Structure 1
């Protein structure tokens, strides 16, 4: 039923009525939900509706409802700014409930961080009221059921988008749109659309002149990894190493290693944040056949301990690190590769990102690098 309702066209007043009906169906029968009255002046529209939730034995609480057809992550900050005055204190800190047709996973996460409740018409619900004690949590759609809507954000999909997010994550702001475009080999129009979308998703913050002033680099990497797959976006060749992946990696560290290979995945992550001993060696290579001959690798479709990848975008193997004489991908690319990989890789990606959070000054650049690809 949720999905059917979400596809209908609603006005904000219709959306509010639909949300109230859905909420009543979720609450126990002995709970009452009515319009609130303050100082006997009648129903209060603050800002869209104010409801009173009452239970006979435990009293009542207020629910302040914010209704919007499209509610983006940036709207969470706007809501917080609007409700930061004396209004909530006057109402003794009511529950703030955001109602929309659909709320993205990031929007819902930011609402929870802010202590707000939410309800959308695809079935995503989180309602917490202290008095009377109510806690409801339901899972709905993680993808917009009407993605054709003009307000749908530009997705972090494709090599150009990942190139831009790496620049944003790796570089301490502030910087201008034109500088980002030049550093990434991207058009100014593309960067402008992406920054607008990222601003709406509260992944970057810009001033009135459009300059990027703040970046949620962790949120950027997590969002980018959701639209990327290490083994699908890059061309993979899978092998078994007769000597074992660890022995092959050790042999590659010899000063005479002749091939152009870049390490990613577990053997790169373990140098930053060890989760477990690495067992699969993942390499970006220009010529898989040369690496196959060097390692005497045996092709396989199952149980591979060596994966050779042709990178989707040359920028993936730029801004490299040198570890034990070998070239490793930059930390931002390592996180993307791990979070979007299989097996233990996502866990290792989270561990690398935690290290990056605690040691931000050691890897974030003061100036934009060049990832022209």
Structure 2
């Protein structure tokens, strides 16, 4: 069921009450006549018994995408400072993403959301408030905030293409290569543009902030939440498992060896070395049985202390642009970075290290500037909307 929108008056009341509660009884937060049609409310904030006060002009909004911050709020606050240097802008919303909060902070705009994310810094009188609330949009958030997200199989495909292939991109190209419906591709591109993860000129994607795009995707998903997985112990150690994979019969890993693909720590360690070892994470093709693969590899099922994880691959796209090394298939760096960032334990740190390598050496992993045809991404089944 869709969450009902919070009416503007209710949003203002709840936000002002939250600010008053944060400041405590020794401070006064009073609404003043709003002489401007540009802002939703004017607040006067002062300490009890102090003649010094600050004025906060309030922008109450249902959603605060980064593009809204840069194109709507920043020009407002710049104009506001030209008129009165000591008047501040406060944004109140049901929820504000971490990326939007960073942009607000960089531009000196105060913010408060109803989940507890607050960032207010005023010089006269001295007020500094910084609290952290929800990092993900709560289910109670209005539909406009989470109508289309970077979670799910479909988004994963589009993120990989946008990261792997340098722009320019047209929606029709992305639709053709990803085997996603054109309406879905168009909707997600709109969301990514609002988040400043892509930039477009007309209908053409001209720039992709692929490191932030991969991070944003990882925040919306979980490596171990993709599908069924099992933990195992390798009696002879993980290196022995890697040596054994190329020797498996074709019925265990497929005629071309694509049935097993390494991701996570061991995929990242091909390029960066944050720590030695770690869990071996293997995607298992959808046509294979995890227990049968474990038997072939001589793995022992365990509930704790697993050094090998076998995961049902959520989509064949995780194997796109993979590479075989010594007979073992490794996912592409973009997929490895995604899985590490969305993984448990030390894996997010390995994902960040891999991203740094990828930024420094794009020629090592990105496709050519020419948009690839479907053959290069394999024969993909269509994903239903």
Q: Structure 2 vs 1, CA of residues 227 and 251 (structure 1 numbering), >3 Å: closer, same or farther?
A: same
2:189 aligned partner: 195
| Structure 2 counterparts to residues 163-178 of structure 1, below 5 A | 163-178=157-172
Secondary structure of the 1:199 match is helix
2:282 aligned partner: 283
1:47 aligned partner: 39
Secondary structure of the 1:192 match is helix
Which has the higher mean CA deviation after the structures are superposed, 288-297 or 240-249?
288-297
**Residues 37-75 of structure 1, C-alpha deviation per residue, up to 9 Å, x if partnerless?**
9xxxx9455533444444566944443322223332321
Q: Structure 2 vs 1, CA of residues 22 and 234 (structure 1 numbering), >3 Å: closer, same or farther?
A: closer
**In 2: Cα distance, 1:8 partner to 1:155 partner:** 18
How far residue 180 of structure 1 moved from its aligned partner, in angstroms, is 0.5
| 1:367 and 2:362 are equivalent in the alignment | no
How far residue 294 of structure 1 moved from its aligned partner, in angstroms, is 5.0
2:153 aligned partner: 159
| Structure 2 counterparts to residues 253-272 of structure 1, below 5 A | 259=253, 260=257, 261-272=260-271
Q: Structure 1-normalised TM-score?
A: 0.83
How far residue 276 of structure 1 moved from its aligned partner, in angstroms, is 1.0
The count of corresponding residues between Structure 1 and Structure 2 is 361
**In 1: Cα distance, 2:223 partner to 2:143 partner:** 30
| 1:179 and 2:173 are equivalent in the alignment | yes
How far residue 321 of structure 1 moved from its aligned partner, in angstroms, is 3.0
**8 A Cα contact 2:168 2:207, kept in partner:** yes
Which has the higher mean CA deviation after the structures are superposed, 286-295 or 219-228?
286-295
| 1:69 and 2:69 are equivalent in the alignment | no
2:340 aligned partner: 338
**In 1: Cα distance, 2:79 partner to 2:220 partner:** 42
**In 1: Cα distance, 2:279 partner to 2:156 partner:** 24
| 1:239 and 2:240 are equivalent in the alignment | no
Aligned residue among 121, 143, 159 for 2:137: 143
Structure 2: state its 5+ residue gaps: 381-385
**In 1: Cα distance, 2:154 partner to 2:267 partner:** 24
Q: What RMSD over aligned residues (CA atoms) do the two structures have, in Å?
A: 3.2
Q: Structure 2-normalised TM-score?
A: 0.80
**8 A Cα contact 1:153 1:197, kept in partner:** no
